[in-house]
Amino acid sequence: MKRGLLLVVGVFNILIVLGQSTQDTLKGNVTYKTSQNVYVKFQSAKALAIGDTLFIDDQGQFQPVLIVHQVSSTSCVGSPINNTVVNLSDALFAIEKNATIPEAGNQQETPTEPVIRIPTQEVTESPIKSSSHISEKTIPAFRGRISAASYVNFANAPGYDVQRMRYTLTLNSRDPKEKGFSVETYMSFRHTINEWQEVRDNILQALKIYTLNVQYKADRNLRLSVGRKINNYISNLGAIDGLQAEKQWNHIVIGTFFGSRPNNLNYGINFNLMQYGGYVTYINQTNKGQQLSTVAFAEQQNHHVTDRRFLYFQHQNSTIKNITLFGSAEIDLYTVKDSKPQGTFNLSSIYVSARYRASRKLSLFGSYDARKNIIYYETYKSFIDQLLEDEMRQGLRCSFNYHPFKKVTVGGSAGYRFEKNQPSPARNFNSYITISQLSPLHISATLSAVLLQTSYLKGDIYGIRVSKDFIKGKLHEEVEYRTVLYHYGSTDFPVRQQIIGLNTAIRLSKKLSLSINYEGEIQTDKTFSRIYSNIVYRL
């Protein structure tokens, strides 16, 4: 506890010397990311459009990192340029087309709500080349970051005090314009204070390598990769340890891979889990949006015996006015019956979603998710009978986002999920209202309510969050309060919790940022506290 308090005091002492001005730009923050997409939240995203480029401020230079594929009133979804890595809470910017991208030390201001347009016909070939303001010289040879995070838990009861550390390294080299080599890596190291012996006994329990590969670009359309890499076109397969190659002809991309799957226990290399396959992707970028369709085949093995064989389909479409569609499906081609392998054609997974922008103020979203248990016949051979459940897990989800007034946002979501082995379906409902930049203090506030019901509990969660930026966006402060009431089916006594959260995020310099989050959970007879701090240095 003393460490956390000293760290907070130190932060506010540092604030005294901060006062450098920031540029007036359309700024957003990364709120969520997947292997293919990055979600960015803005106060207002009305000035953005499909095909725009988002930038990151790296030592006073704006480097392109994201191409926008979907836009709502307050957020957007995009894909990284040349596998650039962005992290949660990163600040991204849009820049007016006619504005000059500032060099280091250039304090030239840009107009409010700036946007840069990317010619859509060039996006599929080279998004960076399509902007006349961005030259290869402005992109550094290497980009990355180092971060150190501390997770401290303590309570007024024995057995809860623990501190965990997590260190991460991200490093990517510049993608060659015509031909040449590039590298990318993303790894983390985690351990618990005073439990170093566990790391010595098994280093792979602490060290996780998520990406580590060398790529060779033979020409504009042919690329080879060796190492561990998640392929964006077939991301459902996860990481592939081995060789990947892809070739593009106009709108068609053909790729293949051969290697192994990471170990399912420690995520290390396991050459007994071999896999191979190929895919064909169709890409069509127009001024109305983008279509992307993939058909893939994969065979996965365990000790050279077939573990799983399946087809994978994926389609996303934003060419229909105000509508964005996404769908994926998996069809298993291999099964084992009475200990004999045989072919099959069994739909094992399907997911579809649609987002509709009804107006500038209202957007709607809905999805349907149905998945069967995925069977790896060799890997889980010893308890395969526990997994042979043919019924699908089914889930429905819908949400809306509405702006009745300029600074007011109202939203909500509802979810429904059913599994045959559960006595009752799970339901949840979430609603919120946000008021931004309340004068005269320019404070933002959000009221929220969450109602959930599962087969074993019912819960009601109500909260309020208040936030404000200081020192021209260099300091962000947030205070949150939630009240929680849980009713467990196995007991007649409800569990009540009062949760208090204090969050501070500060940009110490152009390369260095710090965040500190405190959460206190108060129950009838116990009080739990958590302090999460994270310091990030951008290389």
Q: Where are the domains of the chain?
A: 25-139, 221-390
Q: Which of 27-36, 40-49, 385-394, 458-467 has the lowest mean pLDDT?
A: 385-394
Residue 456 has a pLDDT of: 81
Residue 58 has a pLDDT of: 59
Give the CB-side neighbour count of residue 173, counting CA atoms within 13 A: 13
Q: Is the pLDDT of residue 342 over 60?
A: yes
What integer is the mean pLDDT of 298-303? 95
- What does the angle CA 148 – CA 154 – CA 155 come to, to the nearest 5 degrees? 165
Q: Where are the beta strands (DSSP E) in 318-456?
A: 323-337, 340-357, 362-371, 393-405, 408-418, 426-438, 443-453
What integer is the mean pLDDT of 175-190? 89
Q: Is the pLDDT of residue 370 over 70?
A: yes
Give 485's DSSP letter: E
Residue 50 pLDDT grade (very low, low, confident, very high; cuts 50, 70, 90): low
The per-residue pLDDT of the chain, averaged, comes to: 80
Q: What percent of the chain has pLDDT over 90?
A: 42
Residue 490 has a pLDDT of: 66
What integer is the mean pLDDT of 185-190? 93
What integer is the mean pLDDT of 318-336? 91
Q: Is the pLDDT of residue 296 over 60?
A: yes
Dig out the tokens for 309 from the structure.
């064989």
Residue 202 has a pLDDT of: 87
Residue 356 pLDDT grade (very low, low, confident, very high; cuts 50, 70, 90): very high
Q: What CA–CA distance (Å, rounded) separates 296 from 235? A: 11
Residue 119 pLDDT grade (very low, low, confident, very high; cuts 50, 70, 90): very low
Residue 98 has a pLDDT of: 37
Q: What CA–CA distance (Å, rounded) separates 106 from 203? A: 46
Residue 436 has a pLDDT of: 87
Q: Is the pLDDT of residue 514 over 70?
A: yes
Q: Is the pLDDT of residue 157 over 60?
A: yes
Residue 482 pLDDT grade (very low, low, confident, very high; cuts 50, 70, 90): very high
Contacts of 366 (CB under 8 A, 6+ apart): 353, 354, 396, 397, 398, 399
Residue 61 has a pLDDT of: 55
Residue 412 pLDDT grade (very low, low, confident, very high; cuts 50, 70, 90): very high
Residue 39 has a pLDDT of: 81
Top-level CATH class of 25-139?
Answer: mainly beta
Q: What CA–CA distance (Å, rounded) separates 441 from 237? A: 49
Does this model's pTM top 0.95? My answer is no
Q: Which of 77-91, 150-164, 366-380 has the lowest mean pLDDT?
A: 77-91
Radius of gyration over every alpha carbon of the chain, rounded to an integer in angstroms: 25
What integer is the mean pLDDT of 203-208? 90
Residue 28 has a pLDDT of: 81
